Each structure stands twice: as C-alpha cells, then as structure tokens.
Amino acid sequence: MAKGLLKSIASVSAMTLISRVLGFVRDMVIARVFGASAGADAFFVAFKIPNFLRRLFAEGAFSQAFVPVLAEYKTQRSHEEVKDLVDHVSGALSAVLFLVTLVGVIAAPVLIMLFAPGFSADAGKFELAADMLRITFPYLLFISLTAFAGGILNAYGRFAVPAFTPVFLNLSMIATALWLAPHLAEPVTALAWGVFIAGVVQLVFQWPYLRQLRLLPRFRFKRVHEGVSRVLRLMLPVMFGSSVAQLNLLIDTVIASFLVTGSVSWLYYSDRLVEFPLGVLGVALATVILPKLSQQHAEASPQAFSHTVDWGLRWVIVVGVPATLGLMALAAPMLATLFHYGEFTLTDVVKSSYSLIAFSLGLTGFVMVKILASGFYARQDTRTPVRFALIALLVNLVLNLILVWPLAHAGLALATSLAALLNTALLLRALRRSGAYQPEPGWSALLWRVGIAGAAMAAVLVLGSGTADEWAQWRAAERAWRLLMWVTVGGAVFGAVAIVTGLRPRHLRLRAD
C-alpha cells in the first residue's frame, strides 16, 4: 500500500508542480504588466472572492463531504448505485451553484463593499473591482463542477488528471494578459476574462475521463435522495471548517484594503510563494490520503487508519520544515527573481518579503491542517474541525487587530500563520484523544534530526544569499542561476545533516497493517 500511495502522491505532486511553475510564470507576467497598482489590487479582490467560494463549494466543503460518501458507495454498493449518486449529486450541486452565481453577478458591488470596504474611498478602483467581479464570478460554477469531476476521478485512483487541470487557468491568464490586455480600454480586465475562459476549459477537459469510468453525470434532481442528503449534512459544516485559512486570508484582504495602495498585492504575491510548497506537498498528500482514509474507515481498519495519518504527518515534517525555513531565508531573493521586473519595484520586493516571512511561519500548520482534517472527514465527523476552525478564526481576527498596527500588512500574514498553528494543535489533540490516531515510536528523534538539519540549512542561506539590494542589481539570468544555486545548496545541507544525525528512509515508510 505504501508504494501505491507514494506513486499516487508523486503523480499528483508532479502535475501540481507543473501547474505551480506555470502559476509563477503567470504571476511574473502580471507583475511585469500591472505591478502592484490600483488595477492589480482591484483584480486580486475580484478574483479572490469567487476563488474563496470555490474553496467552500469545491476543494473545501464539497470534496471533503462527497469523497467519503462516494468511497463508501464504491466499497459497499453496486456501480449502478454509484452512478445514481453521481447523477443526483451533480443535479443538486449545479442548481445551488447556478443560484449563487446569479446572485453574485447581480450583487457584485455589494460583495466588493463587503470584502474590500476600503476601496469605497476610490470610486474608480471600486467600480473596476465590481466590473471584474461580474466577469470572474461564473468561474465559481465551472470550477466547482470541475472539482466534482475531480473528486470522482480521485476516488477511482485517477489522480493525475485533476492535478493537471489547474494548468489551464495559468495558461489562460498568461494568454489574456499578453495578447488581450493591449486591445482593451481597461487592460487589467483581460485577467478577469482569462479566469472566465479557464473555468469553461477546465470543466470540459475532465468530462471525457468520467465517460471512461461510465460515470458521466446526467444531472438529475430529486428532493430526497439518501446519498445527496448525507453529502449535504456533511458539507454544510465543512464549508466553514475546511476553509478557515481562506477565511483568514479574506479577513486580511478586508483590513489590507484600508492600508496603503499595494498592500493587497504584496499579500497576494507572498501568499503565492507559500502556495507553491503547500500545493506540491499539502494538496498532494490530502488528495491521496482522504480516499485512502475513507476506505480504511469503511472497511473498519482503525490500525491502518492510524498508520496512514502518522505516515502523512512525518512527511509533512520532513518536507515542510526545510520548505518553511527556505522560504524565510530566501524571501527577498525569490521575490526579486520572480517579480522584480517592469512595474514591480524594489520597494514591492521588500514589502512582499515581510509578509512572505510571516506567512512561511504557518506553512507546516497549513499542510498539517489538511492532513488532520482529512482524518475527521474520512470518519464523516465534520463538527469537530468546524469547532476548532471557528476558534482559530476568532483568534486570527483578534491578532489581526493587534498586529496590523505595528507590522501593517505583514502583521495580517503573521496572524494567519499563528491561527493555522493553533488549528493544527487543536485538531491533533482531538484526533489523539478520540483514539483514531496514535503516534508511532520515533517522533522525538525525527523532530530533533529535522530541527538540527533545518537550523544548519537556514544559517547557510541567511549568511550567504545576500540582500534585496544586491539581488535587484543583477540581471534576470543571474538572479535565476543564483537562486537555483542557493536552493540546491540549502537542500544539500539539509539532506547531509539529516543523514549525519541518523535520518533514514525507513523512518518515512508506512507500516504494514
């Protein structure tokens, strides 16, 4: 089973890596063309609102509620019953999403006032954000149905296709920024059209693979359907619980809209760099582990369930800790290499580096929340993560109000990280107390080895990589090879010290049931 999980995770990670690399290209293009301007701030808000709701309806609530029920049907029932579930879930989901999308398009100015109230002080910025939101909001409908298709494919072990699908969003936004923007009266609106087009393309791309599984939905709607009712009961609390990080980011955006122009963009670019390891590691692990945990719960295999959770958490520590320290140590070099071109100034690099360092502190927490929450969702327990998410959200709000005064936008990022770490601690304690997870022997030694290796790596990077001013003076090619060199050096130092202190591959193997 371990080899199968690793193969699946490697597949998802590889596809996600392609998407994330193209995502950096996309952001480099946006930074070069639009910088951290008022138009860029307006677009990021117009994109963040449907993207946030996507996390609620799609990757967050819907997938976490639908996959465990689908896994149970797949394990215990006939193919015809699985197809009936897919048909009726797709019908109910489409109906709800259509209504939400219609309301969102009509109420775009109200949503901008709600999520970025600071924009009201600038009429042009406010109207531009509302206009772009009307274009981007239908993305919610398309991408949620795409996530529905992806959930089915994941449940049947077809992980690569859903993981590759986000590539089309990046390609669409790059194309519209470069070729459509120059022909529009307001060039930045080209990005909004890129989001709309990507939603359609992503949905169409996955449809043929559902046909291969004989699970292409017929969009039926029945007022009472046992499977749909179960999904909805699980989904409603998860809509909040699984998306606490996104809620925290939205709160950051609301407060940042009152700060100086550029604050929303600085948070966006730093968050994008944190999203890279979070996507390659966290999303890949959670995507593969949730169906496996759901199957183990359905088969009443508690020991195997605990082994799988422990295995996932060990990988988070071994990969997440060096990723966290590397992002912190190389914050300015990474931002300068990727975005310091055209309209994106050295000041933007420095300001973004502050929030990147603060966001990085919570990276391991962000990833662990995905793993630990999956442990509850697989057991169809959605109430516990919701309770903890609410606590974390309230703490984040209080910390925002405290930290924004001395640290400005970086204080918002730091509050989000601290809230994620609190959420992690609460989930871990509850999963252990329930008896569903019992840590395997060797955790103290693992943490010590990773800690020593991480400290050595961070010291080398901080002392040797140089300042933001130095990186700004070099040409793009020199920045790129220097960054690649320091990433390689950091990885080599971490690996060497970890091996010297006794870390071995056997410490990361999934124990047999």
Lowest mean pLDDT: which of 2-16, 235-249, 319-333, 389-403? 235-249
Q: How many CA atoms lie within 13 A of 11 on its CB side?
A: 16
pLDDT (0 to 100) of residue 75: 82
| CA-based nearest residue to 60, from 333, 286, 398 | 286
pLDDT by residue (tens digit) across 485-505? 999 999 999 999 999 999 988
223 has pLDDT over 80: no
- At residue 500, the pLDDT reads 96
262-278 pLDDT, tens digit per residue, is 888 899 889 889 988 88
Taking the CB of residue 383, how many other CB atoms lie within 10 A of it?
Answer: 12
Higher-pLDDT residue of 386 and 484 is 484
- Residue 245 pLDDT exceeds 60: no
Pick the residue with more confidence: 399 or 281? Answer: 399
Q: What DSSP state is assigned to residue 248?
A: H
Q: What distance in Å separates the CA atoms of residue 127 and residue 86, rounded to the nearest whole number?
A: 40
Length of the chain in terms of residues written = 513
Q: What is the predicted pLDDT for the residue at 386?
A: 81
Predicted local confidence at residue 249, as pLDDT: 64
For residue 165, give the H/E element and its range: none
Greater confidence, 280 or 144?
144
Give per-residue pLDDT as tens, 109-168. 999 998 888 888 888 889 999 999 999 999 999 988 998 898 889 888 888 888 899 899
Determine the Cα–Cα distance for residues 37 and 391; give it in Å rounded to an integer: 35
How deeply is 219 buried, as exposed, middle or buried, from its count of CB atoms within 10 A (0-12, 13-18, 19+)?
A: middle
Taking residues 404-413, what's their average pLDDT? 93
As a whole number, mean pLDDT of residues 161-184 equals 92
Structure tokens at 295: 């199957």
Q: Which residue has the tokens 């979070």?
A: 278
Average pLDDT of the chain, as a whole number? 87
Is pLDDT of 2 > 60? no
Residue 9 pLDDT greater than 80, yes or no: no
Residue 39's pLDDT is what?
83
* Alpha carbon distance 47, 43 (integer Å): 6
CB 380 within 8 Å of CB 432: no
Which one has a higher pLDDT value, 258 or 294? 258
Predicted confidence at residue 208, as pLDDT, reads 92
Query: Is residue 12 a contact partner of residue 283, using CB atoms and an 8 Å limit?
Result: yes
pLDDT attached to residue 240: 62
For residue 36, pLDDT beyond 80: no
DSSP type of residue 359: H
**At residue 157, what are phi and psi to the nearest 5 degrees?**
80, 10
